[in-house]
A = this chain, B = another copy of it.
Amino acid sequence: MSNSVGDKTILVGIDGGGSKCIARLETPEGTYLGSGLSGPANPLYGLERAQNSIVTSVAYALEDAGLDQDQFPNIIAGVALAGVNLPSLYDLIMAWDHPFKSMYLTTDLHAACLGAHQGQDGAVIVVGTGSCGYLSMADEQLMLGAHGFLLGDMGSGAWIGLEAVKALLLADDDLGPKTCLTTLVCEKLGRKPLGLIEELSKASSNDFARLAPLVFAAVEQGDVVATDIICRGAAYIESIAHKLLAKNPPRLSMIGGISPLLFDWFSEDLRDKISPPLDQPEQGALYFARAELQKAAGHTGLSALAAN
């Protein structure tokens, strides 16, 4: 049995990344309606798949909210996607013949930052499969890192896993120390180093990120190679944090799967300045859509929301 909100506007916040896409439906007044989850939505790795994931996540969210699927033309979408900091991808997504009433597009980082600080000014450090820093202030936005697996992403899960494999290969050549880390990685991969090179030469950043927990496990056993990897990664992330803090954001949060593991490696001074994220990135996408609607209302002299 489906409810209907008639031809009333619905808002959706969408957070689309490399592994999943989350949609959150709310009324214009902020009442929660429902959520949906679908597959990968990073347009860098497939525009059509990303668009399908976005539409599917909203369809599931409508179902979760008990609303009809014919509501798409009433939906104003705040869409936050990985990769759209690249102008070519931003333009491709904006040229999409989407099924929504209207669409506002921003980066997943911007939405994560808006979510962490409930739409207010602030900064975030994201350390998951990749790594970066982002600052969103009234008069300035700043992105640091986010260089991708091949070119950087120091401190990230993929980088930590890659460094572990490099250490294993050096040890196998007797050009680096054999430690419990190299044993752990060998066991996990179930391969001799030569087979490893063949297998990993085409591995994805996610494959390498899956090795990161082994490095933290080795650190707990006092492994010097693992400790050096984490120290170098944490130092880079801390340097990003200090660049962000130099802009005096009211709040700074850390998000992403590796963040809690790295937290203890920061200086006490930095740890004291990190606050927990308050809302999720898909809620950040909703803060973004509402702010864009208000700007539009300001331009026309009408309340864009009330007009619906």
Contacts and interface: CB of A to CB of B under 8 A. Distances in A.
Interface of A: 44, 85-88, 144-148, 150-152, 162, 165-166, 169-170, 173-175, 194-195, 197-198, 200-201, 236, 239-240, 243
Nearest to A132: B173
Given A175-B144, A175-B243, A243-B174, A165 B151 contact: yes
Contact of A175 (B166, B173, B239): B239
Contact of A85 (B148, B151, B194): B194
Copies of chain A in the complex? 2
Given A174-B243, A175-B240, A243-B174, A198 B151 contact: no
Chain A contact residues, majority secondary structure:
helix
Of A86, A150, A166, A200, most buried by chain B (CB within 10 Å of CB) is A150
Contacts of A145: 173
Nearest to A174: B243
A106 to B, nearest CB: 16
Contact of A152 (B88, B148, B166): B166
B165 A201 contact: no
Given A173-B144, A243-B173, A150 B200 contact: yes
